[in-house]
Amino acid sequence: MSVLKAALIGNNIAHSISPRVHEELFRVLAPRAGSAFSSLDYTLNDCDEKCDLADWLKKARNNGLTGANVTIPFKGDAWPLVDETDVAASVLESINTIAFNGNVKGASTDGEGFLQALLREHPEFNLEKYHVICLGAGNTSRAVLYSLCTRWMPKTLTIVNRTLEHAEDLANFCVAQAPGPTVQIMSFADLEKYAEPRYRLVLQTTPVGSVTEPGNLAAGFAWDELDFAIDLTYKPLQTPFLAAAQEAGAKTMNGLGMLIEQAALSQQYWLTGELAATSPLSDEEYQTIKARLEKELM
């Protein structure tokens, strides 16, 4: 009887519910995979921005870890430290999943996890009718936009960020990967002047609005009932950003579904050595796990 040892490494992650998510997933995925693992030990490793990732990876492997998740701000830093990556990670130059299986393998499950959650919650979704506005320009933003814009073509794409240079980098990446829509960048101060009046999909990908960083970067945004607001935050479930959108009648979605789906892809990778192309969860399994976690977060 052996233990699947895994960990999350990131900065300011004491609030993370990843251990609970992986605990729920292990009950479902381990028996199905025919795994020799009898239990799961998933720990949080909170590191400052000067963390020696190479040293941490070496120690993790020597200490018997099967896998790890990587979160802000280390996803890009971890990418060159692994031996091989999946296609998405190679394109994005960032990883959120590591498997210690012979070679140290890196993968990006954020984008596919987001897409799976979105289509579970809104199976009729079609990006092509929306003007997409992405708040934030980090590695998670890049992964989500890559999955969205290589599947559909939005009417337009706007990247909003405090640092316009980072917004421009992400805009150039999106144009290179999915040429077609008009792409522009702007600061948060200019967001309330955004001209497109209807069918706006606003993706809130920054930590602002979470329990560790309260606020609403779109406080001056004029919502419409035809808009769709998605906040990748899951704690709290209802951020000020989502509350404002909901009050105007817009559709909303928080980040809990994405957290579950990207974690399911990660854990399946650790259990089987294979990165699944789609979610390993059935609709019933997903909804059961989501309902349990929502109850705990309320």
Q: What are the residue numbers of the active site?
A: 75
Structure tokens at 91: 């394109």
User: How distant is the alpha carbon of residue 30 from its chain centre?
Assistant: 23
Grouping H, G, I as helix, E, B as strand and the rest as coil, residue 163 is coil
Q: What angle do CA 69, 15, 267 make, to 5 degrees?
A: 25
Rg, Å, the chain Cα set: 19
Contacts for 17 with CB less than 8 Å, ≥ 6 apart: 234, 235, 259, 293, 296, 297
Per the DSSP assignment, residues forming a β-bridge with 42 are 6
Q: CA-CA distance, 262 to 257, in Å (whole number)?
A: 9
Cα separation, 185 vs 194, in Å, equals: 11
Separation of alpha carbons 106 and 53, rounded Å = 14
- Residues 194 and 246: their CA atoms lie apart, in Å, by 19
Helix (H) or strand (E) segment spanning residue 148: helix 139-149
* H helix or E strand, kind and range, residue 233: none
Taking a C-beta distance cutoff of 8 angstroms, is the pair 286, 260 a contact? yes
